[in-house]
Amino acid sequence: MTSSGYENLFIGFRAGVENTTGFYNTFLGLNAGSSNIEGDRNTFLGHQAGFANTTGVCNVFVGGGAGFANITGHENSFIGTCSGLLNTTGSWNSFIGHGAGHKNTSGNANTFVGTYAGLNSQQGSNNAFIGYQSGYYNQSGSQNVFVGQNAGFQNFSGSKNAFVGHQAGYSNFASQYDTYVGYQAGFNARADSNTMVGFRAGYVLTTGTSNTYFGAGSGKNNVTGSRNTFVGRDAGPDENTDDNVYVGYATGQHDRGSQNTFLGTEAGVLAQAPQPLHNATAIGAHAQVAVSNAVVLGNQANVGIGTSAPTARLHVSSDQADESGLRLEKLTASSPARTTTDQFLTVNERGEVVKGRYRIQISQVAEWSDKVFAPGYPLMPLDEVAAFVKANQHLPHVPSAEQVVKQGVDAAQLNAKLLEKIEELTLYLIDQKNQINQLKQEVADLKARR
């Protein structure tokens, strides 16, 4: 056969036998590069390495049968017996290990390292499989990273996944956007958009989606639940749940509901609580909640707002002196009273809320009614009082019923005013007594003259 190829090195029976214009090639082994016609800058070392290559360029095939079926694929590196065996047009691939990328035909830009890594991959591209039998059953899945023995073992068409660890993502078949890191992390998972990090994190999960697990054994017992975030060793519910957030060692104990939040070591649901709970929150080590739509803070703990050293179950410290720091937006001075009672809450000298008793206190002496007994007090004549009452239907200087309804009344001022009226009444009685005594004396004098 006439050949214009140059600077080639062919060693072995029928090595490079069909070469015509190919150049800079090195073929070593029986039938190595046997079909090469125009391919150049190739290195085929091993029995039938690059056997079917015709026009592929810049390939390196090392090992018996390595790149055997390659025809036009270029810039591939196959190292290992039968590595890239069935590759025909795939390019930019690197397969290292016995049988690595064995069935790849047209997949591009893959990196398979390890015995049987990516063995069944055919059209998948942009994958990186590192480890014995990693990505073993992959056929069309692309843009995956599988690192570890049997990592992504059953992945068939799933794409854009990252599995790192022995048998991580082992059962994944067609899902995408998953990240599993750790020994058997996400072992049984076959759903999209999950992130699981830690020894056997999410091990039992199958069809649940959009979950995030961090910690050895996290996500325990959750098989089909979705949109959960579990952080901490063994963090997870008693059975399938959705939309939960657990943070801390063994959080979520006894939980069978959804939309719950647990933060702290072994925070979760009270074992005797009716199930399932929803929108329940327990914060603090061993904190437990027993009803839905509730927030529990701590376990036998004090809660501080505005203070770092709370001394009561709820300790509120305001930035402003003489202000409580509390606001009841829907309960104001204009809100109607729902009941009548002589019991109320007040604060003591330490700011503690206590059950109180009524106590009237004024700030100035002049606010009290003792002024009635002071010399020169302008006591209204009784005939004027009678005229005022007749005209207004209430005593002078005492609020009318209409005023009390509209404006209310200050208890201290009202008590002072009522005492003022009592003291005025005392003055009227004293005056009447004096007048009566005077009349008695006059009567006695008249009787004495007879």
CB 34 within 8 A of CB 20: no
Check residues 86 and 407 and name the one with the higher pLDDT.
86
CB within 8 A of 387, min separation 6: which ones?
A: none
Residue 365, token pair as written in the block: 């002496």
User: What is residue 163's predicted lDDT score, i.e. its pLDDT?
Assistant: 99
pLDDT band at 428 (very low <50, low <70, confident <90, very high): confident
State yes or no: pLDDT of 349 exceeds 80.
Answer: no
Query: How far apart are alpha carbons 396 and 425 in whole angstroms?
Result: 13
Distances (CA, A) of 237 to 220, 241, 272, 296, 308: 7, 7, 15, 18, 32
Burial class (CB in 10 A: 0-12, 13-18, 19+), 342: exposed
pLDDT at 356 over 70: no
The band of 358, judged by pLDDT with boundaries at 50, 70 and 90, is low
Contact predicate 224/208, CB 8 Å: yes
> For the residues of 192-229, what is the DSSP string, one character each?
SS-EEESTTTTTT-SS--S-EEESTTTTTT-SS--S-E
Two tokens at 303?
């809660």
Per-residue pLDDT tens digits for 362-420:
778 877 888 888 888 898 998 988 899 999 998 998 989 888 888 888 777 888 888 88
At residue 1 the predicted structure's pLDDT band, cuts being 50, 70 and 90, is low
Say whether pLDDT at 152 is over 70. yes
Across 212-227, average pLDDT: 96
Q: Which of 253, 212, 254, 208 minimizes the C-alpha distance to 234?
A: 253
Q: Residues of the chain with pLDDT > 90: what percent?
A: 68
Cα separation, 148 vs 184, whole angstroms? 10
What is the C-alpha to C-alpha distance for residues 153 and 150, in angstroms, rounded to an integer?
5
- 227's tokens: 């949109």
Whether the per-residue pLDDT at 184 is higher than 90: the answer is yes
What is the reported pLDDT for 43?
Answer: 98
- The predicted structure's pLDDT at residue 64: 97
Q: Which of the 8 DSSP states describes residue 253? A: B
- Is residue 156 within 8 Å of 139, Cβ to Cβ? yes
User: Average pLDDT, stretch 98-103?
Assistant: 98
Mean pLDDT of 431-441: 90
What confidence category does residue 330 fall into, taking pLDDT thresholds of 50, 70 and 90? confident
pLDDT of residue 342: 64
Average pLDDT for residues 151-176, to the nearest whole number?
98
The DSSP secondary-structure symbol of 99 reads T
Query: For residue 261, what pLDDT is reported?
Result: 98
User: Strand pairing of 344-347 and 353-356?
Assistant: antiparallel
Residue range 241-265, pLDDT digits in tens: 999 999 999 999 999 999 999 999 9
**Residue 365 CB partners (closer than 8 Å, separation 6+):** none
Collapse the DSSP code of 56 into the 3-class scheme (helix H, G, I; strand E, B; otherwise coil) and give the result: coil
Examine the pLDDT at 443 and tell me if it is beyond 80: yes
Structural contact between residues 45 and 61, judged by C-beta atoms closer than 8 angstroms: yes
Average pLDDT of the residues in 98-105:
97
- pLDDT, tens only, 8-25: 999 999 999 999 999 999
To which residue do tokens 């990505």 refer?
135
| C-beta separation of 8 from 19 below 8 A | yes
Residues ≥6 apart with Cβ < 8 Å to 254: 238, 268, 269, 270, 271, 273, 275
Q: What is the pLDDT of residue 324?
A: 81
Rounded mean pLDDT of the chain? 92
Contacts of 332 (CB under 8 A, 6+ apart): none
Is the pLDDT at 2 greater than 60, yes or no?
no
